[in-house]
Structure 1
Amino acid sequence: FNTTLFELKDTPVTLLSICIFIFFLIGFTYLGSFVKRILNNKVLPRFIKDPGLRFTLSRMTQYVVMIIGMLVSFLFVGVDLTGLAVIFGFLSVGIGFGLQNITSNFISGLIVLFERPISIGDRVLVNDIEGDVQEINIRSTTVRSINNISVIVPNSEFISKNVVNYSYGDPTYRLVIDVGVAYGSDLDLVLKALNEVAEESESILHTPKHDVHLRSFGDSSWNMKLIVWVGNVKEHYSILNELNQAIVRKFRAYDIEIPFPQRDINFRNAMPKNEEVKGEKKEVKSGE
């Protein structure tokens, strides 16, 4: 165990010192996770209400503990600051050759934690995946999709690409419901019905006030839009379903027709059945 394997700036590195280094490194890693858990679950909730800020502070504390642990581990086995400079020099060469992706995700993770473009619990849309941010780690972020699937997204995706954060700053959401009505309908009655649907709903915000618009004329319908505001973007799918059902019931009560596309085909100047074409007549013989 005390046999010298190699030297770093005149400091002998033995198998025993490597084992001690790994032991300390693992110990400080677990200590960092423990400190993060205590801060996030017990200490910070007493002073900070924002769960995203609590997570950021506890995660950064974990990183600080791990960095201190790494330095202590190196110093304990006899590797001084000069030796550390050599080690980091080797690491920089490795980064240059094959660790760019890991380094990019790590730095992006720090940017995400400090700038907080996303926070724990935010509803986001990234890479066509809509879901809630569950955890922000060193290399990646876990997003739980609306289909209850955990998706691991590299942190660099949140920095280098366009990301929609529905919860950033204001969690309210503008919900637009499209519905078509037959051309023969009473327009004033249609407007009244849609306004009543919004006014009777207890799931939407009544400030800002809802709007009802006739947006366009389709092939077989007036295309109406009911625009409402939802207090929490995460609830907009269930509220959309609720309002759609309310519209169907209200239209039936007022005898308002929701049309479906249809085509009328008219034949003009059709030939009589037995008319011969240009005096020619075709005969079909049996067996042919």
Structure 2
Amino acid sequence: KSDVTLLTIIQFIVFVVVFYFLSRLFRRFLKKRILPHFGITENIQFVILRFTHYLMMLAVILIGLNSVGIQLTSLTVGVGVIGVGIAFGLQNITSNFISGIIMLFERNVNVGDYITVDNINCKVVAINIRSTTVVTPENTVLIIPNSKFIEGIVTNWSVLDPKIRISIPVRVAYYTNVQLVTDILLQCAKEHEDVLDEPAPIVRFKGYGDFGVNFDLFVWIAQPDPKIRFKVSSDIYYAIDKLFKKHGIVVPFQEFGYP
């Protein structure tokens, strides 16, 4: 059994540093020369390269420790006790790490997708191992733990078809001509430049509510961007308000009386 000296410690550090840079060179070689031939996405390439690096560095450290005279068997008990403590402390980090790997392989959410998570409309700008970075319509950058995407419900507006249907509810007074309302709603929808001709806008007469007659106007747009959705809804409401006032159509509201 050899003694651990200052010289062996320096040799160990030099050994690890040299192989760290060799690992980086090897990862670069894999990324540019090997992985592109397999048609693997960038997300999965990232996972493969990161794990390759971790495994290589673990092997280097173990070999280095053994070479300087530190027997791995003597570290087993200590590592085991420390590992239990770390496992409890890093439970959330581990969960997010595993969730990130699942996301990268399943590819249900990708960079550039418009999604809704925890009632937040946003655009995905980066998917990392531990967290995902998104940008909201207010241009706010959010860092969301990856476990949110695995454990919760996520709406992906971009995953299949970029066309999105917008629902615009409208209420008018009881005595209003329902056909006139239908014609006005369709006119406002068809005149908007972002509304698609196919599928065509439709109006549904929902029935009589507590304070008036209820309609739903459904339009389709080709952009899942939430900022575009909100703008189209706002523009159509402005147009509806203008024509309602022109034709004398009243929008009812609840009145509060006093005893």
State whether structure 2 residue 207 is matched by structure 1 residue 216. yes
Give the residue type in structure 1 aligned to 2:206. Answer: R
Partner of 1:204: 195
State whether structure 2 residue 95 is matched by structure 1 residue 108. no
Partner of 2:47: 60
Deviations 1:258-282 (A, max 9, x none): 23333577x9xxxxxxxxxxxxxxx
The farther-off stretch of 114-123 and 163-172 is 163-172
State whether structure 2 residue 237 is matched by structure 1 residue 250. no
Distance 1:161 1:26, change over 3 A: farther
Whole-angstrom CA distance in 2 between matches of 1:60 and 1:121: 19
Distance 1:99 1:69, change over 3 A: same
Question: Given the alignment, which residue of 118, 123, 128 partners 1:132?
Answer: 123
Which structure is larger by alpha-carbon Rg, 1 or 2?
1
Question: Given the alignment, which residue of 62, 70, 84 partners 2:57?
Answer: 70
Q: Is contact 1:142–1:150 with CA below 8 Å preserved after alignment?
A: yes
Normalised to the residue count of structure 1, the TM-score between the two structures is 0.69
Question: Given the alignment, which residue of 143, 148, 152 partners 1:161?
Answer: 152
Deviations 1:95-147 (A, max 9, x none): 53433222222111111000112111112222232211111111111122222
> Where does 1:76-155 land on structure 2 (aligned, <5 Å)?
77=64, 93=84, 95-155=86-146
Which segments of structure 1 move beyond 4 Å, counting only runs of 4 or more? 26-36, 89-95
Identity %: 33
Whole-angstrom CA distance in 2 between matches of 1:250 and 1:5: 88
Question: Given the alignment, which residue of 12, 27, 32 partners 1:17?
Answer: 12
Deviation at 1:190, TM superposition (A): 0.9
Aligned length: 246
Q: Is contact 2:65–2:72 with CA below 8 Å preserved after alignment?
A: no
CA RMSD of aligned residues (A): 3.7
Q: Is contact 1:24–1:73 with CA below 8 Å preserved after alignment?
A: yes
Distance 1:216 1:31, change over 3 A: farther
Q: Is contact 1:31–1:65 with CA below 8 Å preserved after alignment?
A: no
Distance 1:25 1:263, change over 3 A: same
Whole-angstrom CA distance in 2 between matches of 1:31 and 1:101: 31
Deviation at 1:196, TM superposition (A): 1.0
DSSP-derived class of the 2:203 partner: strand
DSSP-derived class of the 2:193 partner: coil
Give 1 or 2: higher helix fraction: 2
Q: Is contact 1:172–1:231 with CA below 8 Å preserved after alignment?
A: yes
Deviation at 1:211, TM superposition (A): 1.5
Distance 1:183 1:136, change over 3 A: same
Distance 1:94 1:70, change over 3 A: farther
Q: Is contact 2:44–2:105 with CA below 8 Å preserved after alignment?
A: no
Partner of 1:192: 183
DSSP-derived class of the 1:191 partner: helix
Give the residue type in structure 2 aligned to 1:4. Answer: V
Q: Is contact 1:55–1:120 with CA below 8 Å preserved after alignment?
A: no
Distance 1:153 1:247, change over 3 A: same
Distance 1:257 1:69, change over 3 A: same
Whole-angstrom CA distance in 2 between matches of 1:105 and 1:27: 29
Partner of 1:4: 4
Distance 1:203 1:137, change over 3 A: same
DSSP-derived class of the 1:227 partner: strand
Whole-angstrom CA distance in 1 between matches of 2:66 and 2:119: 48
Distance 1:105 1:35, change over 3 A: same
Whole-angstrom CA distance in 2 between matches of 1:249 and 1:30: 65
Partner of 2:170: 179
Whole-angstrom CA distance in 2 between matches of 1:30 and 1:176: 53
Distance 1:158 1:264, change over 3 A: closer
Distance 1:150 1:239, change over 3 A: same
Deviation at 1:213, TM superposition (A): 1.5
Deviation at 1:203, TM superposition (A): 0.5
Partner of 1:278: none
Q: Is contact 1:4–1:15 with CA below 8 Å preserved after alignment?
A: no
